[in-house]
Amino acid sequence: MPFERVLEGIYQVGGTGLSGPGDCCCYLIEAGGGRSVLVDAGLGSDPVALSSNIEETGHRVRDISALVLTHCHIDHIGGAPAIIDASECDVVSHEADASAIEEGDGRRTAARAYGVNSPQIEVTRMVTADGGILEYGEAHIVAIHTPGHTPGSITLQMTVEGCNLLFAQDVHGPFFRDFGSDVPAWRRSMERLIAIGPDVLLEGHYGVIRPRGPAVQFIRDMLAQDMRLQ
């Protein structure tokens, strides 16, 4: 199957076994009226695969209203140009990661580590307030600032079918000085996610974790590891 349905109107359309090599998990959110919101765009190693998966859900790439980049790393932003060219969508990022994305900074985006170039991507909508609301059609998304992995990492919160969803990309790290990582800040961010209590955790490389018990335990397990700045 080229995509996985998570809940009504929520799909995983990218990631290992679904799209190109090196892609993070990418998620599509229905916004009503044929519109949608894409959470992250993968590495960009096979943009056709990601686009095909989106189309298989019954949505058109050209009808994507917003691409939300949860942080600045290349495995999350590299596929953005293809999506933007096809849809002319908003590009959303936290202000603390926006300069790395717009400048194509190979160090902060980890593009150098992947042996690729980082595209220069214009961020058209910056998240500046913790808990800011992203409204796109029927999609009501809360953007929570969860720094640690990068300075501008964000977690997206939604309620769907009575379930508390957290799109918490790269809960697992890693943490490098070149990324601007901050392990103590990450720990505080993870404790905050535990307090929120996700019924469904949509992670950046581990996929969908549910129900609440396993989702919270996944975060606790990450916190229990000896995470260090490298």
Task: Say what the pTM is.
Answer: 0.97
pLDDT of the residue at 19? 97
pLDDT of the residue at 54? 98
The backbone region for 52, taken as left when phi is positive above 0, alpha when psi lies in -120 to 50, beta otherwise, is alpha
Q: Is the pLDDT of residue 82 over 70?
A: yes
Q: Tokens 């059609």 identify what position?
A: 137
- Residues 89-117 have pLDDT tens digits of 999 999 999 999 999 999 999 999 999 99
- Residues 63-77 have pLDDT tens digits of 999 999 999 999 999
pLDDT of the residue at 70? 99
Domain boundaries, the chain: 4-224
d(CA 32, CA 63): 11
Computed over every residue of the chain, the mean pLDDT equals 97
Q: How many CB atoms lie within 10 A of CB 188?
A: 13
- Extended beta strands in the chain, E state: 4-7, 10-14, 26-32, 35-39, 64-68, 90-94, 125-127, 132-136, 139-145, 154-160, 163-168, 200-203, 208-209
- Residues 171-213 have pLDDT tens digits of 999 999 988 999 999 999 999 999 999 999 999 999 999 999 9
Assigned architecture for domain 4-224: 4-Layer Sandwich (3.60)
Residues 37 and 135: beta-carbon distance below 8 Å: no
pLDDT of the residue at 1? 54
